[in-house]
Amino acid sequence: MLVSRGRNPSAAEVLTQLVQNPELRGRVLTTLGLLLLIRLGIYIPIPGIDREAFKGFLEQGGQLIGFLDIFTGGGISTLGVFALGILPFINASIILQLLTASLPQLEDLQKNEGEAGRRKIAQITRYVALGWGLIQSIIFSLILRQYAVEGISEPVFVAQTALGLVTGSIVVMWLSELITEKGIGQGASLVIFLNIVATLPKALGSTIEKAQTGDRGDVVGIVVLLFVFLITIVGIIFVQEGARRLPIVSAKRQIGGANLLPNRQSYLPLKLNAGGVMPIIFASALIFLPITIANFTRNPLLIRWASALNPGAANPWPYAIVFFALILGFAYFYASLTVNPTDIATNLKRGGVAIPGVRPGSATTSYLSGVQNRLTLLGGLFLGSVAIIPAAVERATNVQTFQGLGATSLLILVGVAIDTAKQVQTYVISQRYEGLVRQ
């Protein structure tokens, strides 16, 4: 076996492990098989729907339908039993994260109950996903009832469609948990990754067709847009991996009578983008909310107000400014949920660890809060720029073939790819040291 001690495993070592190690090979094949099963479920049609009439609804849905269709891998446009996909579980996870930060009982389960507490929170998340999926299924069924084929009564159509959709979402949630347990990577993230990747061939095909049939300006616009996407991906990698390393020093400790442990210096990493992709997801859901309400209520005042926040409006500045502000605000909000300076300062003090030049206790809390706020500002400005710039370039170049595949999709693709690659590398490193022990 190719062994490279002291550094991350090379591509050759990873491929060797895939070929020679039956456990790693089985995990990879299990992951691929379950992901394939999830994709096949999208193409199992929901019965009783006039699909030709439904196409008109998709064309009128605009950005909101395109945004949701990206995360379901085309499940909404194909009207399969897995149309809702992993969305109810993702929504439930977000709700539980918010509730954990606000309810002491859930916070105690997460922090003090160990593995048993985490299993209980996971079970609560499943129940919330079931309830949320049922609500989404009923709403979606009520929207689809106008496209039901003749001969089916409305209550029967709504009941059978809602039952099929919520069952499909729970099956997807179960399969994603199987991937997490028996495969490689985080199951829910890989399902979203697969759904986004599944939309790429259609977007690339439309882009190639536009380049072949369009004029020289279209070709130049496509080249510029692809270049912007490439720069955006490179920037996402740097920001996702970027962190401020604060030096920390542990105090000398006496062992027995005379032996002293020397000072050990290490680092406390604070991520530049603590919220990941969540600020953009929250901001996208909130900015589309007025448009959705206006479309359902048909209120002229709401329609006039919501049209100003439409990405396709004649004047895009209101949408860009509000979207940028929402992303920045949610970046601070989600950073406050994921990083608690008070808890970090308390744990450092208990462990006899301090930041050089900063007194333990409240001074450390204030220092960490200041550093985290500056990092969050930089990360939020980057997320806002990533969300706005590709859309602005699409509008300027008049290349709309990648519509819906924006900053959120790129962030998810890059983030999931990095996390899965790290998990594979960690597994290979563990096998490397097991091999050394056996020798």
Tens-place pLDDT, residues 218-266: 777 778 878 888 888 888 888 878 888 888 887 655 445 444 555 555 8
pLDDT class of 319 with cuts at 50, 70, 90: confident
* 270 compared with 306, residue with greater pLDDT: 270
pLDDT value at 64 more than 80: no
Q: Residues 388-392: what's their mean pLDDT?
A: 76
Q: Are domains 1-199 and 200-404 of this chain identical in fold?
A: yes
CATH topology of domain 200-404: Preprotein translocase SecY subunit (1.10.3370)
pLDDT of residue 130: 93
Burial of 93 (C-beta count, 10 Å sphere; 0-12/13-18/19+): middle
pLDDT value at 174 more than 90: yes
pLDDT of residue 311: 63
pLDDT of residue 71: 66
pLDDT of residue 30: 92
pLDDT value at 170 more than 90: yes
Do 280 and 324 form a contact (C-beta atoms < 8 A)? no
Instruction: Return the domain boundaries, the chain.
Output: 1-199, 200-404
Q: Which of 275-284, 297-306, 382-391 has the lowest mean pLDDT?
A: 297-306
The 10s digit of each residue's pLDDT in 331-350 is 888 888 778 888 888 888 88
Q: Residues 197-206: what's their mean pLDDT?
A: 78
pLDDT value at 436 more than 60: no
pLDDT of residue 101: 72
Following CA atoms 178, 184, 185, 186 in sequence, which dihedral angle do they give, to the nearest 10 degrees?
A: 10
Q: Residues 415-425: what's their mean pLDDT?
A: 82
d(CA 382, CA 398): 24
pTM of the model: 0.77
pLDDT value at 1 more than 50: no
pLDDT of residue 297: 66
Q: Residue 408: name the closest of 228, 325, 318, 285 by CA.
A: 285
pLDDT of residue 269: 86
pLDDT of residue 61: 55
Burial of 322 (C-beta count, 10 Å sphere; 0-12/13-18/19+): middle
The 10s digit of each residue's pLDDT in 15-54 is 777 777 788 888 889 999 999 999 888 888 888 887 777 7
* 92 compared with 433, residue with greater pLDDT: 92
The 10s digit of each residue's pLDDT in 158-169 is 888 899 999 999
pLDDT of residue 12: 75
Q: How much is the mean pLDDT over the chain?
A: 78
Do 71 and 169 form a contact (C-beta atoms < 8 A)? no
pLDDT class of 380 with cuts at 50, 70, 90: confident
Q: Residues 351-375: what's their mean pLDDT?
A: 88
pLDDT of residue 167: 93
pLDDT value at 106 more than 60: yes
* Domain 1-199 belongs in CATH node 2.40.50.100: no
pLDDT class of 126 with cuts at 50, 70, 90: very high
